[in-house]
Amino acid sequence: MQKSILITGASSGIGKAVAYEMARKGYAVALTAPRQHLVDEIGEDIRARYHPPQIISRALDVTDHAGVFNAVSEIGDFFGRLDIVFANAGIGLGEKVGKDEFEKARKTIEVNLIGAMATVDAAIGLFLAQGGGHVVGTSSIAALRGFPRSSSYSASKAGLAIYLEAVRAECLKKNIDVTVLYPGYIDTPLNQMLPSRPFLIPVEKGAAIISRLIEKRVKSACVPAYPWAALGPLLKILPLRMIAKM
């Protein structure tokens, strides 16, 4: 029986690369992102390269909460069963606190946290109805310690991680798996403007790691595991003056 995955934020970065990787592995793939023409083009390229059993592309802005619920339901109907929902859509606008940039912070929270929560809530509703499924969420190493000029991004990713931990507990013994991913620096448009990206890996490598973690149905993992699994706890205890220089 074919397996299927819905990916939000599939028009670029991690979402796009994971779509290619999962299609290569034989999954039916649903691509969603705000701009229809981009997911249409990606879908056609994936179809030509890998001939997945099914592929669908759909315009979806995760801040349109009713649209999120409709999309998850309709894509589930299209595939007959939806096995994985990857809540991946995210932005990073790099606002500074107290510099009249609060609109950037508000938008970041709406997309990265509330939009992801809507995606997960819709997925859980579908999974409860069909008897099981797997939710995957993209958090970040920035969830482990708030970074300057990334305050709302760090908060959104920390909030999503905790939300998913709560969802896992709520879904105990309901045949629903929940995976929280903590990517480090993966080469995507989201972080290409940063002056420093330590331990950077190509997006294709990141997608290959993520696809393996999804198939293993892990509870949580850093991407890549080395060095972030070791460095993550250290971030929490670094002196504030060091964090302020990042």
Query: Residue 73 is which amino acid?
Result: S
In the structure encoding, which two tokens stand for residue 185, read together? 């620096």
* 3-state class (DSSP) for residue 50: helix
- CA proximity to 65, closest of 116, 134, 129: 116
| Residue 8, token pair as written in the block | 């939000």
Asked if 113 and 156 touch (Cβ cutoff 8 Å), the reply is yes
Per DSSP, the chain holds a count of helices (H) and strands (E) of 9, 7
Is 182 considered catalytic here?
no
* Dihedral sign (CA 230, 209, 183, 158): negative
Give the number of residues written for the chain. 246
Q: In a 10 Å sphere around its CB, with 0-12 CB exposed, 13-18 middle and 19+ buried, how is residue 160 labelled?
A: buried
Q: Which pair of tokens denotes residue 6?
A: 């819905």
3-state secondary structure of 236: coil
Enumerate the H helices of the chain as residue ranges: 13-24, 36-50, 65-79, 102-109, 116-130, 151-170, 203-216, 225-235, 240-244
Catalytic residue among 27, 153, 163, 185: 153
Q: Tokens standing for 170? A: 């709520």
User: Which residues are catalytically annotated?
Assistant: 153
